[in-house]
Amino acid sequence: MTDDNSQPLRSSAVSAAQQPSAVAPRARLRELSPTAMWLTAAVIAVLTAAVVVVLWWAATSGLNGAELVTARLDALKIGLSIGVGSGGVIALYLSWRRQHSTERALAHQEHDSAERRLTELYLKAVEQLGSPQAAVRHGGLYALERVAQDNPRQQQTVVNVICAYLRNPYTPPPEIGGPRLLGVRRPLLKSTERPRSPAATLNGGTRETQLQEREVRLTAQRILHQHLQPGTDLDHPRHDFWPDIDIDLTGATLIDFFFIRCRTANASFRSATFIGEAVFIGVQFGALADFGRSEFGGNVRFIEAEFGGDAWFGGAEFGDYAWFDEAKFGGHAGFFEAEFGGDAGFDGVEFAGNARFDGAEFGGNVRFDGAEFGGDAGFDEAAFRGYARFEGVKFGGDARFRGAGFGGDDQFDQPEFGGAEFGGYAWLPGAAFGGAEFGGDALFQGAKFGGNARFDEAKFGGNARFEGAVYGGRALDPAEHGVSRRADEPAAAGDPGPGWQSFC
């Protein structure tokens, strides 16, 4: 990395180091002033004299001769003993107080010394990340890892520095980079390639230095992956787990990114570029997870991922397979205008909030078998080029497919909604299959419509099958819901047409 690229890291490190410590301020030594000491001595003397007087007069009344002398001597001894004892107690207290103050001073000195060593180690590690030598940058990452592991209060700061490093511009060597496929194949897009900018210079831009930087980045990714894994027992996480960490990898270039079984708070991967695989199996996002406009060049796996808050994939480009099977979305899920170049799987996915796929383009096959939509499901203007299957889907809210397109140029794979349950409004008006109309069969066998269901202006070139479909507690009558005849076979007078024979 060049000195210019490292400057932001150094600045952030200095700013963090200059922030006030969370430790309580140093306690001052509080010794008794001379006035207080004289006052204490005077009080002891007065008390001693009072005891002597009481014992001298009150306790010896009625005595004569030798007995009187002996009693008064005893009173004097007792009074002096009390005075000496009181003075000893005060002396012991003062000695304890002095010792305690000394120990506190030493403890604070040791703490200040440790804080200085920590700050020096942290600043040195950040400075190493700006070194032109790859080995030195590696050392800086390992030093930061040690700082975070030994000082839990610094874990978020260290993660911020590592993320800032990964956000620095980087172009891999030619055999790793190069043109990449976009999410959708022809003819939905005019071009299948997006040219990359020329390789960024790195110590002259040599292939060797780019490969070295690639290894440094893989080390940074490994540190994040290792320390954000709580382990199998969530009640007793691993000793090296860093909890409640926010991740900000906005615009970062990530290579073969593995984030398996990790747990974070907020996470931003917006506009990030994933080269190779991106594996988020079993990951737990505590709050917002933002993947908007990210580019995934290889396979993507969010299998069994849990999104505690909203999840955004709007405008994301999936160049190859994208699997979200058994994932759970606790908030809203946004896939607006996302582009899926290969097959996509959403089997068994649970959407607690609204799920919006408006304008999404599915270049390969897509399945939502057994998926549950707790809120509204929006597929307006979505394009399904391959096989689209919604077997056993449960739509808790409205299901909208207005202007959705199913089918490709060369062949048509019919959509299947067999066994689907529509709890709200089901809208498929103007849906285009294979162009302006349904190019083949559309299967809704066993579907259950709990709310209104409309198919106005939808045209079926093949059969639209509704065997076992139920609406309002009785068999669904397609004619009542706007289903038209087959487009290529007009019905004779009084005859509903052959395309209707399989409806009920």
Closest to 316 measured CA to CA, from 289, 341, 293, 332: 293
The rounded distance, in Å, linking the Cα atoms of 374 and 352 is 5
Q: Which residues of the chain have pLDDT under 50?
A: 1-30, 177-204, 408-413, 433-437, 439, 486-504
What residues have CB less than 8 Å from 226, skipping those under 6 apart? 240
The rounded distance, in Å, linking the Cα atoms of 249 and 156 is 14
What pLDDT is stored for residue 92 in this prediction? 75
Q: Which two tokens stand for residue 122?
A: 């942290």
User: In this structure, what are the phi and psi dihedrals at residue 130, rounded to the nearest 5 degrees?
Assistant: -90, 5
User: In this structure, what are the phi and psi dihedrals at residue 36, rounded to the nearest 5 degrees?
Assistant: -65, -35
pLDDT tens per residue, range 96-154: 777 777 777 676 666 556 567 777 888 899 999 999 999 999 999 999 999 999 999 99
The answer to whether the beta carbons of residues 441 and 463 sit under 8 Å apart is yes
Q: How far is CA 491 from CA 476, 484, 495, 500, in A?
A: 21, 11, 6, 10
Q: Cα 73–75–80 angle (5° rounding)?
A: 95
Length of the chain, in residues: 504
What pLDDT is stored for residue 462 in this prediction? 64
The answer to whether the beta carbons of residues 186 and 192 sit under 8 Å apart is yes
CA 332, chain centre distance (Å): 15
Quickly list DSSP for 373-389.
Answer: ESS-EE-TT-EE-S-EE
The rounded distance, in Å, linking the Cα atoms of 278 and 449 is 38
The rounded distance, in Å, linking the Cα atoms of 311 and 196 is 28
Q: Which amino acid is at 6?
A: S
Measured from the Cβ of residue 331, the count of other Cβ atoms closer than 10 Å reads: 20
- Residue 327 exposed, middle or buried by CB count within 10 Å (0-12, 13-18, 19+): buried
pLDDT tens per residue, range 352-391: 999 999 999 999 999 999 999 999 999 999 999 888 899 8
Quickly list DSSP for 404-459.
Answer: -EE--SS-----B-TT-EE-S-EE-TT-EETTTSB-S-EE-TT-EESS-EE-TT--
Q: Whole-structure pTM over 0.85, yes or no?
A: no
CA 281, chain centre distance (Å): 13
What residues have CB less than 8 Å from 436, skipping those under 6 apart? 459
What pLDDT is stored for residue 87 in this prediction? 67
Helix (H) or strand (E) holding 65: helix 65-129
Q: Strand order in 284-285's β-sheet?
A: 263-264, 284-285, 306-307, 328-329, 350-351, 372-373, 394-395, 421-422, 448-449, 470-471, 474-475
Percentage of residues in the chain with pLDDT exceeding 90? 42
Q: Which two tokens stand for residue 146?
A: 């040690």
User: In this structure, what are the phi and psi dihedrals at residue 11, rounded to the nearest 5 degrees?
Assistant: -60, -45
